[in-house]
Amino acid sequence: MRIQRPGPVAVVLALLVGVFLLLPLLAVVPISFTPGRLLTLPKGSLSLTHYRTLFENPDWLRSILLSARIGLFTSVLSTTLATSFALGIWMLQPRFSQLLVGFVLLPMIVPPVVSAMTLYFLLTGMSQMSHSIGFDSVVGVTLAHTVMTVPFAVVMVLVALAQLDRRIDLAARGMGASVAQRILHVILPNIAFGVATAALLVFVLSWEEIGVTLFITSVDAITLPRLMWMGLRDNVDPAIAAISVVLIVVTLLILLARMVFQRRPEFEEE
């Protein structure tokens, strides 16, 4: 029983902050229906011009597909590396596992601009071996995104493992299961939801990544955020409002789907 409920002042303050948090997302919606070519509120008539641009302009379509592809590759690579690492840490638990976890979380803690510089160094070096794997290439961007997203995946999988009952694994071991059997038949099925969430999060993070992508792409690997950035910096293109609305809706749908799927395991436990 909670004795101290928030008073009216606290509730009003919290709601004000809540409105502040939602405001820029809501502001995008009316702008996206403007018929004009400038960033204005629609006067009188609404128009879908800018939504049509998204499908008709090959630049938008190409970068959407590119971002989706990079997001998918990154998601698979990052989640696989993170899951394997987290399983090792969970089974290992020695003193220095803390050090290992600290090390792999570095890209999350180090300022993104420093990571960007670091990855720029890596990819320009790789470019000298072959142009298809380094700076401004799909492989290069995927590698960079994997570095940047893997700490988030590690955290997600470690959290899922922390909620797993160790006795299940002990029982399997007691009955003579090998390490591979324990992982494949006992541990992984129990943390599947956590791994799936990690994969989803990595996809979204890669799909939205801009800070590092700006440093490591120039003309070939124009991802969706990179294209949006160019439209935002020069003179603001209202097509960005349309793509923003699409992105917000897609994100909401993903979050909703996740909530629906999450329901089930909770019910099973209780």
Partner 1 sequence: MRSSSAFWPALALTAPLVLFLAFAYALPFFGVALWSVTLPEPGLGQYERLVGDPLVQSVFLRTFRICLIVTVIAVACAYAVTYVWVRGSRLQRRLIEICIFVPFWISLLTRAFGWLALLSTRGIVNSSLQALGLTDGPLALVRNEPSVIAGMVHVLIPFAVLPLASAMRTVDERMLLAARGMGASRLRIFWSVFVPLTLPGVIGATLIVFVFSLGFFVTPAILGGGRSIMVAELVYLRMFQSPDWGLGAAISVALVVIVAALMGLLARFARLGLTGGGR
Region near partner 1 per CB under 8 A, out of 48-56, 116-124, 130-138, 261-269 = 116-124
Binds partner 1 by CB under 8 A, chosen from 59, 138, 210, 220: 210
Binds partner 1 by CB under 8 A, chosen from 39, 46, 61, 162: 39
Contact assessment for residue 82 and residue 150, using Cβ atoms and an 8 Å cutoff: yes
Size of the site for partner 1 (CB under 8 A): 90
Looking at the chain, which runs of residues are DSSP E strands?
none
Contact assessment for residue 257 and residue 51, using Cβ atoms and an 8 Å cutoff: no
Q: What is the largest CA-CA distance in the chain?
A: 74
Spatial separation of the C-alpha atoms in residues 126 and 133, rounded to whole Å: 7
Q: At what angle do helices 224-233 and 239-269 cross, to 10 degrees?
A: 140
To partner 1, the closest distance from the beta carbon of 13 in angstroms equals 4
Region near partner 1 per CB under 8 A, out of 18-26, 55-63, 130-138, 190-198 = 18-26
Q: Is 99 exposed, middle or buried, given 0-12, 13-18 or 19+ CB atoms closer than 10 A?
A: exposed
Contact assessment for residue 140 and residue 134, using Cβ atoms and an 8 Å cutoff: yes
To partner 1, the closest distance from the beta carbon of 77 in angstroms equals 9
Tell me the residue type at 36: G
Nearer to partner 1, 58 or 111 (CB): 111
Structure tokens at 68: 């989706």
Binds partner 1 by CB under 8 A, chosen from 64, 66, 70, 104: 104
Contacts of partner 1 in 119-158 (CB under 8 A): 119-122, 125, 143, 146-147, 150, 154
To partner 1, the closest distance from the beta carbon of 175 in angstroms equals 14
Nearer to partner 1, 3 or 260 (CB): 3
Binding-residue pattern over the window 229 to 268 for partner 1, x denoting contact by CB under 8 A: x--xx--x---xx--x--xx--xx-xx-------------
Within its chain, how far is the Cα of 1 from the centroid? 37
Residues 6 or more apart whose Cβ sits within 8 Å of residue 36:
42, 238
Structure tokens at 208: 């939205």
Binds partner 1 by CB under 8 A, chosen from 57, 84, 132, 262: 84
To partner 1, the closest distance from the beta carbon of 268 in angstroms equals 23
Binds partner 1 by CB under 8 A, chosen from 66, 89, 155, 160: 89
SS3 of residue 129 by DSSP: coil
Spatial separation of the C-alpha atoms in residues 30 and 210, rounded to whole Å: 25
Contacts of partner 1 in 49-78 (CB under 8 A): none
Binds partner 1 by CB under 8 A, chosen from 211, 253, 261, 264: 211
Nearer to partner 1, 72 or 105 (CB): 105
